[in-house]
Amino acid sequence: MSAASRCWRSPWRRPSTHRSSSAAPRLPVRRSGACCATWTLPSCWREPRPSIRPTRRSRICSATAQRRVEAALRRGEVRVKTPLGTDLRFRVGDRPMNLQDGDASAARARTAKVLVDREVELPCGVLRVAPLEESVSGVIAYPVTQWDGRPVEGLKLHFEKGRVTRIEAAAGREAVEAALRSGGPGSEAFREFALGFNPELAVPERNPWIPYYGYGSGVVRLALGDNTELGGNVTSGRPRWWDLFVDTTVSVGDTVLVRSGKLTGP
């Protein structure tokens, strides 16, 4: 049986040794050596194209929803509250918004305004911004967490003009003080507000401070330390970016963006 009469199955496989019962196209083969074959594709061949259908994940991780929230955040004072006692206020002004939607294209990279815009976080789905430092005031009440490698309970950090002014803790206050002291002056400064959009992800109940990228829809991250990569003015201090809050309510004026940990708008 000649090579030309054999059944063609794929341009990347050697010819089969049996006839096909279907009317599959024939592929001539030109031998070049004892173990190599050069394939010539038939004129009817077209490269298969993947089915591109927007999935629920791709819709959420796209910049569309994040852009709507970005516009809302710029309208006025942002307020973040939790049942444990967090009540933090700030403004973002015209600070750059980093939208992590999984777009790693060269075209996207060319629009980068700050260093973090050249990063692509996977899993995708988060908006990040460094608020205007002088506008940050209030209190962050943390769930059980770790500082300096030690557990801390009942922690509350009080802020004025973007800096920690008072520390409260039921247990482990010394660990918090040691961590802030060892990180440098910028460690006591507010770094970043981040909001998750990916509904396929969730913060684990055990060790909830572990995930950095890819926290779930409606989850808020409040961070301390150097924020120059985000376009902020805190130029020193070891970043602390793994404190996640799953039950926040985030609002701008009368517009509620997140209610009890669930995205609601705008």
What DSSP string describes the chain? --GGGSBP--TTSPPPSS--SS-PPB--EEE-SSS-EEE---TT-----------HHHHHHSHHHHHHHHHHHTTS-EEEE-TTS-EEEE--TT---EEESS---HHHHTT--SGGGG---SS--EEEE---GGG-EEEEE--SEEETTEEEBS-EEEEETTEEEEEE-SB-HHHHHHHHHHT-GGGGBEEEEEEE-BTT----SSSTT---S--BTT-EEEEES--GGGT-S--SS--B---EESS-EEEETTEEEEETTEE---
78 and 31 share one domain: no
What's the CA gap between 225 and 60, in Å, rounded? Answer: 29
The reported pLDDT for the residue numbered 156 is 98
Burial class (CB in 10 A: 0-12, 13-18, 19+), 97: buried
85 and 12 share one domain: no
**Last residue in a domain, options 25, 49, 73:** 49
In total, how many domains does the chain have?
2
104 and 203 share one domain: yes
110 and 223 share one domain: yes
43 and 142 share one domain: no
The reported pLDDT for the residue numbered 209 is 61
Q: Which domain holds residue 32?
A: 1-49
129 and 223 share one domain: yes
**Last residue in a domain, options 28, 49, 70:** 49
Reported as a single tens digit per residue, the pLDDT across 74-105 is 999 999 999 999 999 999 999 999 999 888 89
Does pTM top 0.85 for this prediction?
A: no
Report, as ranges of residue numbers, the positions in the chain whose pLDDT lies below 70.
1-62, 207-214
33 and 90 share one domain: no
94 and 40 share one domain: no
Reported as a single tens digit per residue, the pLDDT across 202-238 is 887 776 666 566 578 999 999 999 999 999 999 988 8
What's the CA gap between 65 and 127, in Å, rounded? Answer: 10
Residue matched to tokens 């801390």: 152
39 and 142 share one domain: no
The reported pLDDT for the residue numbered 64 is 85
Residue 31's φ and ψ, nearest 5 degrees, are -75, 140
122 and 251 share one domain: yes
117 and 202 share one domain: yes
33 and 160 share one domain: no
